[in-house]
A and B are shown apart, each in its own frame.
Chain A
Amino acid sequence: EVQLVESGGGVVRPGGSLRISCAASGFTFGAYAMSWVRQAPGKGLEWVSAINRNGGYTAYADSVKGRFTISRDNAKNSLYLQMNSLRDEDTALYYCARAHISTDYGEGFDPWGQGTLVTVSS
């Protein structure tokens, strides 16, 4: 069964840092691009960051550029998001999502994990 399990969320003060992780199983992790997508409480979906299959290319939403870093360890079947200089507006459920097909461009997302909640509050 293809599965994505996020972890590492929690409460952090504004200006603080947090690293969240996503453990993948049930598929060849290194064959798929991966993304983080977030959802603020009661709001819609916002793409945050993506990384290609070998980790050599990364992309970020303007709202997190320079503060967040996406990375992956294909040997450990894991995806990470290092979040620095956190702001109130970063409070959200962070989903790990796999590309729906093994491709270099234009992919959708499936499956998604259940999400890990990051709360930025003083």
Chain B
Amino acid sequence: EIVMTQTPLSLSVTPGQPASISCKSSQSLLHSDGKTYLYWYLQKPGQPPQLLIYEVSNRFSGVADRFSGSGSGTDFTLRISRVEAEDVGVYYCMQSMRLPKTFGPGTKVDIK
């Protein structure tokens, strides 16, 4: 099983300031097809998760451009360029390279 870790586990951010979350996998998520199967989700309070980023760096439909993803192999980062109040919640990374699909423990983001 591929183990996903995230740091930090919690983050308090001033509105308008940037934020960054790191995600590491225990094995490379680079597939032989050239794609890297790393995803980012946001779970807002009381809601199901929503997809933000697919395959490391691609913003999903409707996702604000203040969200960006980067990384390769086993090290990945989600950045929010300017945090807004609506960005509060828990952020999860997930690998879809190998079954079972596994999630990181989550990073709780709140507003100062």
Interface size on B, residues (CB 8 A): 27
Q: Chain B 97-110, CB within 8 Å of chain A: the 1/0 string?
A: 10111111110000
- Please tell me if A47 contacts chain B, counting CB pairs below 8 Å: yes
CA distance A31 to B92 in the complex (A): 26
- Please tell me if A112 contacts chain B, counting CB pairs below 8 Å: yes
- Please tell me if B45 contacts chain A, counting CB pairs below 8 Å: no
Task: Judge whether A107 and B48 touch: CB under 8 Å.
Answer: no
Task: Judge whether A45 and B92 touch: CB under 8 Å.
Answer: yes
Task: Judge whether A45 and B49 touch: CB under 8 Å.
Answer: yes
- Interchain CB contact (< 8 A) of B51 among A62, A105, A109: A109
Residue of A nearest to B99 (CB): A59
- Please tell me if A56 contacts chain B, counting CB pairs below 8 Å: no
Q: How many A-B residue pairs have CB under 8 A?
A: 59
Min Cβ gap B27→A in Å is 14
- Please tell me if A110 contacts chain B, counting CB pairs below 8 Å: yes
Task: Judge whether A110 and B51 touch: CB under 8 Å.
Answer: yes
| A residues in contact with B101, CB < 8 Å | 35, 47, 50
- Please tell me if A113 contacts chain B, counting CB pairs below 8 Å: yes
Min Cβ gap B102→A in Å is 7
Min Cβ gap A77→B in Å is 19
| A residues in contact with B103, CB < 8 Å | 44-47
Min Cβ gap B3→A in Å is 13
| A residues in contact with B97, CB < 8 Å | 106
- Please tell me if A121 contacts chain B, counting CB pairs below 8 Å: no
Min Cβ gap A109→B in Å is 7
Min Cβ gap A60→B in Å is 8
Min Cβ gap B108→A in Å is 11
A25-59 contacts to B (CB < 8 Å)? 35, 44-47, 50, 59
CA distance A27 to B77 in the complex (A): 32
Task: Judge whether B51 and A108 touch: CB under 8 Å.
Answer: yes
Interface centre among B33, B43, B48 (most CB of A within 10 A): B48
